[in-house]
Structure 1
């Protein structure tokens, strides 16, 4: 049984089509990313998963239950977590636990605060929290009910590196225990680090849905930044490698990075030739991640056909 199964979901706000025939499948224990430009329908879809709205057309099942009768076991937030600024972090979680009928003595409030790295500020008022700290507290609030489906809207918004590590660790642990997460983000690096599959939305429609590996197919050409022990010689080797093209800002004998465009097989051949020439490869990384490149290509194509 899929945790989320959507078929032909459409949602209208007057004359505005927020979602247009969306299909979505999310398996148990999967971290699934929603990607799209502003106005693509990501937040609307997350709201449907949380039971905050009802689809106008189509069929939606969550944890095997047809929507809008959302079952227990779903938690999260859209448009930022709802918190009481005059209360402390601990008091916020205590109030939420009571609203949900939980025994505050056994609700695990200290545990979830520790999971998201807020133990040291548990008794500070939320009005003094940064955006990233509020996001982490929102995640802690969602964890109180031990959800089977976690729905998060921009959970990495405002996070510093330490906060990001806490959030990533929590989500990876939950997925390993069988909890499903559906999250939106504009940060492609976060999605690539977290998600096994992504759905890209544009103008309310799905333009891609599937494993990240499909976006980085071996036939796809990307720009790669290449740093070596001998930039000048590396440029000559790259220029002579079939399938590899040099960018305009190719390396000179100044230690600059060489930027090359190539599909993965040609890139592999380039590395072999560099090693054969005694040139050490110090860095080889996409200038733009495969997910971001696919996102730009797919959404630009969709916009041009509106």
Structure 2
């Protein structure tokens, strides 16, 4: 698969602070790739380098087959925004995009209107942006990116402030771009967005990559997760769960007689459910308290933070 982004050893300093510490990044064309990590992990710095807003101090970076990351230039076909899109509050949504299209030398009126329609803003095209919500401004930023028909789209928290309708529009646009061969790199704290959209993910913590690869590898089925289990007979269900291999009972939920909490991995859950059904216990709901992806993310970032704290203690 063609690589839209290939970074090796990307390092960035801000004074004595190491924002990025030897980061490797691979994003394939036709793929939606998630970039996740705790606040201060270096995600925004990395996105800024990809968009030509900052330069790397060390390492190599290729974007759409061209060297990048050192000069404040990006290849044609790269679009996106960091820390929210820049807009003119006194102009309408349509005028914002029309002016951007004029400055860059492309985009007729029909293309502007099509971009607004794709992100669900056709009905407010003639409204001034100063009255727009955060989510609507995010969608204007995405519409602006669509004008150049990007081959690499870089987005920083694109779901910020989005209502369900706006989120649906954004998801549809990103899936369509990837299906047409574009690469999408999105940074998000919304694990459900990452799970819904991304085939691969890079997790950064304290400026370092702690995981890179397919979501299926990250959300390891052997990792125990807490589940809410709603059943017709909690007493029998607790008795069966207590004796089941690989299952641990949690505390008894207050004010919900039909619910029990268990901790188990996927194979243990697969074995438990038939046991309950065979005993005449109806399983009405089985929901992870924390998704397997979020559980893995928390474990990896907490482990990295602990290792960093131990290294700092040793160096004193």
Normalised-by-shorter TM-score class: over 0.9
CA gap 1:172/1:66 in 2 versus in 1, 3 angstroms: same
Provide the C-alpha distance between the structure 2 equivalents of 1:95 and 1:167, rounded to a whole number of angstroms: 23
1:266 is aligned to 268
Q: Are 2:233 and 2:258, in contact at CA under 8 Å, matched by a contact in 1?
A: no
How many equivalent pairs are there? 304
Q: Are 1:34 and 1:200, in contact at CA under 8 Å, matched by a contact in 2?
A: yes
Q: Which runs of 5+ in 1 are unaligned?
A: none
SS in 1 for 2:262: strand
Provide the C-alpha distance between the structure 1 equivalents of 2:184 and 2:264, rounded to a whole number of angstroms: 34
Give the counterpart of 1:102 among 94, 102, 106.
106
2:5 is aligned to 4
TM-score, length-scaled by structure 1: 0.96
CA gap 1:250/1:130 in 2 versus in 1, 3 angstroms: closer
Provide the C-alpha distance between the structure 2 equivalents of 1:251 and 1:16, rounded to a whole number of angstroms: 46
Q: Are 1:235 and 1:251, in contact at CA under 8 Å, matched by a contact in 2?
A: no
Q: Which moved more, 1:83-92 or 1:163-172?
A: 163-172
Give the counterpart of 2:91 among 84, 87, 94.
87
SS in 2 for 1:305: helix
2:302 is aligned to 300
Provide the C-alpha distance between the structure 2 equivalents of 1:179 and 1:170, rounded to a whole number of angstroms: 11
TM-superposed deviation, 1:232: 2.2
Please list the CA deviations of residues 26-69 of structure 1 after superposition, one character each: whole Å capped at 9, or x if unmatched.
Answer: 11111111111111000011011111111110010011111145
Q: Are 2:220 and 2:292, in contact at CA under 8 Å, matched by a contact in 1?
A: no
The ranges of structure 1 where at least 4 consecutive aligned residues each deviate by more than 4 angstroms after the TM superposition are none
Q: Are 2:37 and 2:43, in contact at CA under 8 Å, matched by a contact in 1?
A: yes
Find out whether 1:32 has 2:33 as its counterpart. yes
SS in 1 for 2:13: strand
Provide the C-alpha distance between the structure 2 equivalents of 1:103 and 1:171, rounded to a whole number of angstroms: 20
Provide the C-alpha distance between the structure 1 equivalents of 2:279 and 2:160, rounded to a whole number of angstroms: 45
2:130 is aligned to 127
Give the counterpart of 2:155 among 152, 155, 173.
152
Q: Which runs of 5+ in 2 are unaligned?
A: 309-316
TM-score, length-scaled by structure 2: 0.93
SS in 2 for 1:145: coil
TM-superposed deviation, 1:256: 3.8
Give the counterpart of 1:77 among 77, 81, 102.
81
Q: Are 2:36 and 2:204, in contact at CA under 8 Å, matched by a contact in 1?
A: yes
Provide the C-alpha distance between the structure 2 equivalents of 1:256 and 1:60, rounded to a whole number of angstroms: 54
Q: Give the CA RMSD over aligned residues.
A: 1.4
